[in-house]
Amino acid sequence: MIEITAELQNGSRKSSTVEEACAVSLRCFYTTGDSRKCGFDWFRIGDNGDIPFKECVGYYWDKGHKISDPYIYDKALFKPDKDLQNTLQGNYKVLKDVFWRNGYKGEKMPYIVPILSIGEGEHISLDIKRDGKQSSDIFVESDLEDSSVYDYPKTIAPNQDSFAITCLKMQDKISLLKFFSDESKEEQCGELVIIPKSLVFCKSVEIVFCKVYIVDSGRNLNTVFGNYRLQLLNKNSLTSLVDCFSQALVDIQYNKTSCLELEVWEDDMQPFYVKLKDKNAFDIEKSNELIALLRKREKEKYFSVKKDCIKVYIMPDIPFINKYGKETRAFSVIGQNTIFCKNGVDGMTLVHEVGHALGLPHTFVYRSVLANSLNNKSNNSEMSFCYEKKKTDNFMDYSNYRMFFYYWQWKVMNENLRNIKF
């Protein structure tokens, strides 16, 4: 039996066995609704239907060499890596003298504090996870002097399985919710970091949508427009775009009533095409040249070029072909704050591509994050973490279930968070 000793808030010390020690933590499983506006991240240990980071954080290898991008290797082998897992764990706060006995495969491990982002009027219900014995209520207390900022249960009953938090008003301080196993609140058994969505911590990003019409040189524009109109994303997809980035404290702004429209003659598009069977396909490798043409058309029509924004060009149903000969529905152009997508692209694909535009690589790629992303004044590269492909719930993966940005990604996209230490 393992004995642990906890330092109480009054300075005294209390010993108990790991089997007896109570620990309480929170988890999240998004479905739909307003809760998706709140961000939530935790170090995955496999207790919430997720794949533990100890199994899916590591590197890809090919012929004995570590590789950065498994996309170009047919037989790349993924291997978990303890050092990279420990580096990832270092992004989170560890609660001193509190342990999680039933961690990955039943291993005793440190208590890694989860992180919540929430804005005024937002509400989220979180799942309660317990470790050790809990035969009585758990007592909850905020470290804020103002007790009216958040509404939450002050006690957690032994049979309670959810914990709801509402932000009643905005403030500019990162705070802690502390969980105690005794009413005197001397023996702490859990914690939650809360980052408010105030101007201190949030970054605003403007997205400009632009419909690109490719017009046959011999046809009348009005006739073409009458037969074929490009569509913006539907309202639900645009709402989802805003909500998903709100999790990471990134405020997405866009014009809800109009977007740019550009006409490009088909003759001008010919240099950007390659043949795909019996039809034209757009060569992604020529993206920079096409961007130059579109900016020229924008200046001709609107007398200026919209800058300091992410530009999303909605294209007709022409295939996009990358350098590996594979087709994609959308792609980002590194260093240009530009996204190309096919007409009718889904909302999750756009979330993924905007993540690239804001500096995020794929979760399965091990390399420095994209330098000089939008509004990023720093030239310092930050290292990404590598996860096994299709094994995470992250927006930057290719898995079927993508609902989260991780906390380290919040920091990459939002320079206002980069120097925060817990």
Q: Is the pLDDT of residue 298 over 60?
A: yes
> What average pLDDT does the structure give for the chain?
85
Q: How confident is the model at residue 326 (pLDDT cuts 50, 70, 90)?
A: confident
Question: What proportion of the chain, given as a percentage, has pLDDT over 90?
Answer: 53
Q: How confident is the model at residue 344 (pLDDT cuts 50, 70, 90)?
A: confident
How much is the average pLDDT of 331-352? 88
How much is the average pLDDT of 58-87? 87
Q: Is the pLDDT of residue 180 over 80?
A: yes
* pLDDT for res 32: 53
Write down the pTM of the prediction: 0.88
Highest mean pLDDT (candidates 5-19, 99-113, 295-309, 376-390): 295-309
Distance CA 377, CA 367 (A): 20
* pLDDT for res 89: 94
SS (H, E, C) the chain: CCEEEEECCCCCEEEEECCCCCEEEEECCCCCCHHHHCEEECCCCCCCCCCCHHHHEEEEEECCEEECCHHHCCCCEEEECHHHHHHHHCCCCEEEEEEECCCHHHCCEEEECCEEEECCCCEEEEEEEEECCCCCCEEEEECCCCCCCEECCCEECCCCCEEEEEECCCCCCCEEEEEECCCCCCCEEEEEEEEECCCCCCEEEEEEEEEEEEECCCCCHHHHHHHCCCCCCCHHHHHHHHHHHHHCCEEEECCCCCCEEEEEEHHHHHHHEEEECCEEEEEHHHHHHHHHHHHHHHHHHHCCCCCCCEEEEEECCCCEECCCCCEECEEEECCCCEEEEECCCCHHHHHHHHHHHCCCCCCCCCCECCCCCCCCCCCCCCECCCECCCCCCECCCCCCCCCECCHHHHHHHCHHHCCCCC
Cβ–Cβ under 8 Å, residues 231 and 281: no
Q: Look at 35 and 38; give whichever has higher pLDDT.
A: 38
Q: Is the pLDDT of residue 7 over 50?
A: no
Q: Is the pLDDT of residue 324 over 60?
A: yes
Q: How confident is the model at residue 179 (pLDDT cuts 50, 70, 90)?
A: very high
How much is the average pLDDT of 365-386? 59
Q: Look at 376 and 301; give whichever has higher pLDDT.
A: 301
When mean pLDDT is compared across 134-143, 190-199, 210-219, 228-237, the lowest value belongs to 228-237
Q: How confident is the model at residue 383 (pLDDT cuts 50, 70, 90)?
A: low
Question: What proportion of the chain, given as a percentage, has pLDDT over 70?
Answer: 85
How much is the average pLDDT of 350-355? 94
* pLDDT for res 6: 45
Distance CA 239, CA 22 (A): 40
Q: Is the pLDDT of residue 297 over 50?
A: yes
Q: Is the pLDDT of residue 193 over 90?
A: yes
Domains defined for the chain, CATH in brackets: 3-43+92-196 (2.60.40), 203-357 (3.40.390)
* pLDDT for res 4: 44
When mean pLDDT is compared across 190-199, 351-360, 372-381, the lowest value belongs to 372-381
When mean pLDDT is compared across 17-21, 252-256, 289-293, the lowest value belongs to 17-21
How much is the average pLDDT of 376-401? 79
* pLDDT for res 323: 78
Q: What is the pLDDT of residues 157-170, one digit of tens each?
A: 998 999 999 999 99
